[in-house]
Chain A
């Protein structure tokens, strides 16, 4: 019974995931694309919970669904109607057709590779601790085995913040030049 419920949740989340991803790619208004991406991130968080990643799911909702998407929506609202663009306005170009074909080839290749390679061997590991993926376990790993990755990530975030400020202030000075 529990197995059936998990399958139902998985199918629902996977369907939402694929549908919202397709919506992101096909909507012509970027605002709606960003809203669809929030749905995609939320359904992925459900899948992470099914895989035992409680902390990652929480981080996904907070960092992605919260911070990153708010930034996206602010920029889209700031740029306004400059961003409107119909994706298939000029009909399917040869570029688009070739892209769809290449994407289908990649998907087939990955699925065939997974099916050949797994042979039923990719089942869940039978034994996991009850604290698998909990904030305590993740934090312990971060501060022991992956300490360098943790510190390097913080430096990368700092550099990105500095880069964002520099890009913003540079644009402001350009605007001042244009006005004077």
Chain B
């Protein structure tokens, strides 16, 4: 069982990362931005696991699991912030959150 080479996986990971970055930069709803960050993290996870297969050791998969845990904690804090914004009736638009701008 050979299948595609690692290069194909890395190119796919790059495409996922770029799509996620597009979402982060273009969209204004913080929920969609969090979802796009998840896509970026998954792109990097795919590259890590592809290189783990390339090298023939599982350490890259360990990294990927650590990235998953970090992503879960990031989602918890991000969604907590979004819920707090929703409860205070702040408009969910990152372009309008400019209180901290000097």
Interface residues of A (CB under 8 A from B): 2-3, 6-7, 9-10, 14, 17-18, 21-22, 24-25, 30, 33-34, 37, 40-41, 44, 47-48, 50-53, 55-56, 59-60, 63-64, 67-68, 71-72, 75-76, 78-79, 82-83, 85, 87, 95-96, 99-100, 102-104, 106-107, 110-111, 114-115, 118, 122-125, 127-128, 132-133, 137-138, 141-142, 145-146, 149, 153, 156-157, 159-161, 163-164, 167-168, 170-172, 174-175
Chain B 76-97 interface mask (CB, 8 Å, partner A; 1/0): 1101111110111001110000
Chain A residue with the shortest CB-CB distance to B70: A156
Distance in angstroms from A23 CB to nearest chain B CB is 10
Among B1, B3, B54, B74: residue with most chain A CB under 10 A: B3
Nearest CB in chain B: distance from A15 CB, A:
10
Complex Cα distance, B93 from A128, in Å, reads: 49
Say whether chain A's binding surface is mostly helix, strand, loop, or mixed: helix
Selected contact of B62 from candidates A2, A71, A104, A149, CB within 8 Å: A149
- In the complex, which residue of chain A has the Cβ closest to the Cβ of B82? A75
In the assembled complex, the Cα of A125 lies from the Cα of B72 at a distance in Å of 31
- Report A137 CB to chain B, min CB distance, Å: 6
Is there contact, CB below 8 Å, between B69 and A153? yes
Q: Which of A6, A159, A167 contacts B1 (CB 8 A)?
A: A6
B80 adjacent to A168 (CB under 8 Å): yes
A51 x B42 contact (CB < 8 A): no
* Neighbour of A118 across the interface among B7, B14, B61, B93, CB < 8 A: B7
User: In the complex, A169→B11 CA distance in Å?
Assistant: 43
A159 to chain B: closest residue by CB: B73
Contact partner of B6 among A72, A122, A138, A159, CB < 8 A? Answer: A122
Q: Report whether B59 and A78 are in contact in the complex, using a CB–CB cutoff of 8 Å.
A: no
Whole-angstrom distance from the CB of B50 to the nearest CB of chain A? 6
Contact A68 B71 (CB under 8 A): yes
Give the Cβ gap from A10 to chain B, nearest Cβ, in Å.
5
Q: Give 13 pairs: A residue, B residue, CB < 8 Å, sorted on A.
A: A18-B16, A25-B19, A51-B53, A59-B68, A71-B76, A79-B82, A82-B91, A85-B32, A104-B18, A118-B7, A122-B6, A164-B76, A167-B81
